[in-house]
Amino acid sequence: MTFLTVWDWLIIGAYFAGVAAVGVWSSRNQKTSTDYFLAGRNIGWFAIGASLFASNIGSEHLVGLAGSGAKSGVAMAHYELHAWCLLVLGWVLVPFYTRSGVATMPEFLERRYNPATRWILSLVSLTAYVFTKVSVTVYAGGLVIQTLLPELTLFGMSSFWVGAITVVLLTGAYTVFGGLRAVVYTDAMQAMVLIAGSLCITAIGLYQLGGWDELRALSGSERLNLWRPASDPDFPWPGMLFAAPIVGLWYWCTDQYIVQR
């Protein structure tokens, strides 16, 4: 087992200190609910773009999506390729949402239809977030800590639970106290970490494996094929071509998790 060195701990400590500092800095000068929930509507394009990237790519992707790719091939990438739907959001829907003066999608449905639709969408969305996003993200975070620090225990809890609870407390703290501005700026910082770390892992992995040609030889053509036959049980091409864009439009253009940025 390879244990973390002093330099590893220093880097991890600096990262968490940086996240905390950004959260505290972002919480200043928040005087209205618009400042808290919508960051005053004055965040720059780079921070918003980086926040969208980090909101979409998290620990559940680095752990779960990578594992799915290793198991079934690159066909899972279809869901990420529909990020083009952001163009629809930015050019068509965001101006419409802005003119409507709404802050959330349930609020928009209430104005368009009635209060009942707002409650229904709120209930469905919160349930989906808890069971598909929050739980998976927390689980993936705990799994990372369990892998890196298997011997870690605290108050009788295993390293997995220490990691999971740390993820909840840390993200909850800067979200509650800093509002959307803190979320956007910490996301922007984490996006840089995700990109740099993913590039390093990719380069090191290919080097250890023997290069791209060796990866293709070991994987086989089927696993590297983005389009699968219609008989494929997981990723049939008709579903990927016609149904996946519908999911992409919902996620990128109407999901509060993305649209609020």
Span 31-70, pLDDT tens digits: 666 666 666 677 788 888 888 888 777 766 777 777 777 7
Q: The tokens of 65 are what?
A: 């999506």
Q: Which of 186, 166, 230, 245 is nearest to 50 (CA)?
A: 186
CA dist 9 and 15 (Å) reads: 10
What type of residue sits at position 257? Y
pLDDT the model gives residue 21: 82
Write down all domains in the chain, each with its CATH number in brackets. Answer: 32-259 (1.20.1730.10)
What is the number of alpha carbons within 13 Å of residue 192 lying toward its C-beta?
Answer: 10
- Quote the tokens at residue 75: 């066909």
Residues with Cβ within 8 Å of residue 255, at least 6 apart in sequence: 105, 125
Tokens for 13?
A: 């400590």
Task: Tell me if 226 sits within 8 A of 77, measured CB to CB.
Answer: yes
Q: What is the mean pLDDT of residues 183-206?
A: 86
The residue type at 118: R
Residue in the block written with tokens 């910490």: 186
The residue length of the chain stands at: 261
Tens-place pLDDT, residues 120-175: 988 988 888 888 778 877 887 788 788 777 777 777 788 888 888 888 888 777 77
Give the single-character DSSP code of 3. Answer: P
Flag whether pLDDT at 91 surpasses 80: yes
Residue reference for tokens 């803190």:
182
Alpha helices in the chain (DSSP H): 6-26, 33-38, 45-56, 59-60, 66-72, 78-81, 85-88, 94-100, 105-112, 115-128, 135-148, 159-209, 212-219, 237-238, 244-254, 256-259
Nearest to 22 by CA among 34, 31, 14: 14
Distance CA 259, CA 247 (A): 15
203-245 residue pLDDT tens:
998 888 888 888 888 877 778 888 888 888 888 888 888 888 8
In one-letter notation, the amino acid at residue 11 is I
Q: Which amino acid is at 77?
A: A
Of the candidate ranges 1-10, 96-105, 112-121, 237-246, the one whose mean pLDDT is the lowest: 1-10
- The residue assigned the tokens 């509002």 is 179
User: Residue 161 contacts by C-beta under 8 Å, 6 or more apart in sequence?
Assistant: 142
CB 52 within 8 A of CB 180: no
